Each structure stands twice: as C-alpha cells, then as structure tokens.
Amino acid sequence: MLLGGRVAGPLVSLAGLLDEVHQARASIDQVGHVLNRPNERQALTTGLRPRFEGAIEFRDVTFRYEGAKTPALDKMNFKIPAGTMLGLVGRSGSGKSTITRLLQGINRDYVGSIRIDGTDMREINLRHIRKNFGMVLQDNFLFRGTVRDNIIAGRPGLSFEDAVRAARLAGAEEFIERLPNGYDTFIQEGSPNLSGGQKQRLAIARALISDPRVLILDEATSALDPESEALVNANIQRIAAGRTMVIVSHRLSSLLDCDLIMVLDQGKTMDIGPHKELVQRCAIYRHLWFQQNRHLAPEGFDDESSQPAIV
C-alpha cells in the first residue's frame, strides 16, 4: 500500500496539472477571441453627430452570430416614427435582443441598413449614438458607492439636481428618500442591500440621466415580483414622453400601453400593430396572449398546439 501510494500520488498530481493546463488554454483562447476582435476606435472618433428625434427604420437587415448556421435576423423590415413606444414579442430565439444589440452598435457586421432619423447608423459616431440611447437590462450592475454616484455613473459632469430629476422620473425618489442617508446612502458592490424593484428603478434612473432620445428596456421587469413590476410599469408612460422606447418583454400584459407591438419569429417580422389588432389577426401573438391569460381564452383553445384552435 505504501509503494502503491508513492506511485499513484504523482500520477494524480499529473492529471490535476493537465486539467489546469486545459482550463488555462481555454481561458487564453477566450481572451484572445475578445482582444483579436476589431476595435471601435475609428467608429468612436469619426462619423456624424446629428440631433436625434428617434425615428427607427430597418431595411432588409440580416445578421448572423459568429459560428451560427441560421441568421438571428433574416431580412428584417420595419419602420417607426419618433416618439413611438414599440414592444417586441416572440418566442425565445426570435431575434428580440439582437435588435437591441444592433441599435446600440454592439454588432455592426450586418447586411442591410439601419437608419436613425433617415441617417444610416454606420455613418453616425458610435459614442454619439450611445450617449443618446439609454439601455436597461434584466440584471443591472450597481457599483460600490452612493445612490447619487450610481445614478450619474458615466456622466460625472452632471449635478445633484440632475440625479434627483432622473430618480423622480424613474419612480425611484420615493424609496430613496426612505433610505438612511437618502441619495448619500452607500451601496455595496452588487447592491445586496436593495430589493430587485429598487435596483431596477435605479438602473432606469441611470439610463434617463442623460435624457436619451431612444430608451431600450430589454426584459427590464421580467425578474421582478408583481408589486415591483407594477411600480415600474406605472412610470412607463411618464418615461416615454418625448422619446422613442423599445421594450422587450415576455409578459404581454406589460406591453398593452405600447403604440405598436412587433411580433417576431425566427428572425423575421411576422406582424406589427396595436394589441387589439394583433389578437384578431396574428396567430402567433394570439397564442402567446391566451397562453398567459388563460381566463380570457376562447373555448377550444389548445395550450399544447403551436396555434390556438379557432372556434
């Protein structure tokens, strides 16, 4: 047993070393993949800096992620005027989040044309786009610092009054005033001392601090409890005043106030219109709606089928 242990010990150590080598190689490959991507230096320093109103148009936009066999967007076409509140719905993988990524300029190697107020996005300065476009994700990161620091993060030249104005618009002022030190309350990294609803409202305030012409909410309320979601949705109309909003949500009830709802499937626009019209004419939207609101479903609705039974 002693000799066996002396022999097996180095072999076990060697196996562990080989495993660490494989992990290190995979990590280096991932870092290399990021570092070898073309940088945005030219797009950040050159290009037009127009005054945005918020009209968005996709013309035959096709985009495929690296290594994917099928396109995430396949000849996407739609057009919305400035000041429109647009909801994006569809099954998982239909291209909703891809649209928001293209609007932020994260992916620029697409085919077709994306126009903002009639100007091709590729001709617009990327820093200018991101300054005028606000973004709120499903899970937002709050930094170590005060509430005020987190609201004006990335906009150090703005004043305390600007932070208060953004918090009031996002519906966050009510709970901030109840914090021990108000806007000077210290938040730990990752914000463990805040609830999900409070965290999301601070993220919305941070997105609104620069008064963006286009605000994108990508599943911003999907992880919230019903009470917190209701508080956020209650402020949507007030937030939308004077700006274009693109809202991605699986919960169709949160999109009822949208001017237009676009239904996506496999990277294509299946239909676009108000809620009442889509329930009547779009089978995919009707199925999703009755799936989430079974008490409203007509007799004969089959939840297992891909489309509702028509009676």
Amino acid making up residue 134 = G
Compute CA 277 distance to the chain's CA centroid, rounded to the nearest angstrom: 26
pLDDT of residue 311: 28
- Return the number of other C-beta atoms located less than 10 Å from residue 52's C-beta: 21
Mean pLDDT by 10 residues, the chain (311 residues): 84 88 91 80 79 91 88 91 91 88 88 91 88 84 85 80 86 84 83 78 87 87 70 78 88 85 90 90 87 66 46 28
Q: CB within 8 A of 217, min separation 6: which ones?
A: 136, 204, 245, 246, 247, 248, 249
pLDDT of residue 174: 80
pLDDT of residue 298: 62
Question: Where do the domains of the chain lie, and which CATH numbers do they carry?
Answer: 56-273 (3.40.50.300), 283-311 (no CATH)
Residue 146 pairs in a beta bridge with 186
Q: Rounded to two decimals, what is the model's pTM?
A: 0.77
pLDDT of residue 307: 46
pLDDT of residue 11: 85
pLDDT of residue 305: 44
Residue with structure tokens 């001392």?
A: 193
pLDDT of residue 63: 93
pLDDT of residue 301: 55
HSE (side-chain half, CA atoms, 13 Å) at 310: 8
CA angle 246, 79, 130 (to 5 degrees): 45
